[in-house]
């Protein structure tokens, strides 16, 4: 099985790309599935609201805490869903989340779940803050400018870390 992890801020096109990729692969007789933490979080909110989809659909800003018990529940559900998906007959899995650590934690989990490192790929999404903010304002579940700023800072920290690692990598003489 193959795995693709998306890396990018909210509203950068990760979910749209993943949906289009899955549809294209269906035409090629490949069976891919998307796992998305926001969809899992939405399912948690729905279950807490008694599956009142109309009430959930009208939420502009999620009534969800991205820490503590709720996030542990989401993480456990993600683990179980991912393991279950890996055990089935799929060509691949797309982890369509921000993955602002570069996907390191999820790569390690995927390896522990049995996917080989050479079958794990990263798909990065680049977007300006202004474009992300505009797109975010038109989304059903907007994260807002403060969250976007934090995500851009985390992404810049990731890129800076990569630059430092590259600069500190010894050069081989041939």
How is residue 98 annotated by DSSP? -
Residue 57: predicted pLDDT: 47
- Give the residue from 27, 59, 23 showing the smallest Cα distance to 41: 59
Structural domain includes residue 174: no
Which runs of consecutive H residues, i.e. helices, occur in 28-63? 37-48, 53-57
Structural domain includes residue 115: yes
Average pLDDT of span 71-83? 90
Structural domain includes residue 94: yes
Structural domain includes residue 43: yes
Write down the residue that tokens 């851009």 correspond to: 152
Structural domain includes residue 127: yes
pLDDT tens digits along 2-42: 999 999 999 999 999 999 999 999 999 999 999 998 888 87
C-alpha span between 135 and 131 (Å, rounded): 6
Q: Identify the band that residue 51 occupies on the pLDDT scale cut at 50, 70 and 90.
A: low
Range of the structural domain that residue 67 is part of: 2-167
Provide the domain count of the chain: 1
Assign residue 74 the CATH number of its domain.
Answer: 3.40.50.300
C-alpha span between 172 and 174 (Å, rounded): 6
Structural domain includes residue 15: yes
- Give the residue from 155, 25, 36 showing the smallest Cα distance to 106: 36
- Give the residue from 69, 3, 67 showing the smallest Cα distance to 35: 3
φ, ψ of residue 45 to 5 degrees: the values are -60, -45
Residue 67: predicted pLDDT: 61
SS3 118: helix
Structural domain includes residue 143: yes
C-alpha span between 108 and 104 (Å, rounded): 6
Structural domain includes residue 173: no
Least confident of 20-29, 57-66, 119-128: 57-66
Q: Identify the band that residue 56 occupies on the pLDDT scale cut at 50, 70 and 90.
A: very low
Q: Identify the band that residue 141 occupies on the pLDDT scale cut at 50, 70 and 90.
A: confident
Residue 44: predicted pLDDT: 77
Residue 63: predicted pLDDT: 52
The chain-wide mean pLDDT, for the chain, equals 86
Average pLDDT of span 85-112? 92
């Amino acid at each position: 099985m193959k795995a693709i992890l998306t890396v990018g801020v909210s509203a950068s096109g990760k979910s749209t790309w993943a949906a289009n990729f899955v549809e294209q692969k269906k035409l090629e007789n490949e069976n891919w599935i998307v796992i998305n933490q926001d969809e899992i979080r939405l399912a948690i909110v729905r279950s807490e609201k008694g599956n009142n989809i109309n009430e959930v659909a009208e939420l502009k800003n999620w009534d969800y805490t991205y820490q503590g018990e709720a996030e542990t529940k989401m993480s456990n559900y993600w683990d179980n869903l991912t393991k279950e998906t890996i055990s089935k007959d799929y060509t691949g899995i797309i982890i369509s989340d921000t993955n602002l650590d570069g996907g390191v934690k999820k790569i390690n989990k995927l390896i522990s779940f049995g996917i080989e490192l050479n079958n794990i790929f990263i798909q990065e999404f680049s977007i300006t803050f202004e474009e992300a903010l505009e797109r975010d304002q038109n989304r059903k579940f907007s994260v807002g400018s403060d969250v976007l700023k934090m995500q851009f800072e985390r992404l810049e920290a990731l890129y800076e870390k990569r630059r430092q690692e590259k600069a500190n990598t010894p050069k081989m003489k041939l």
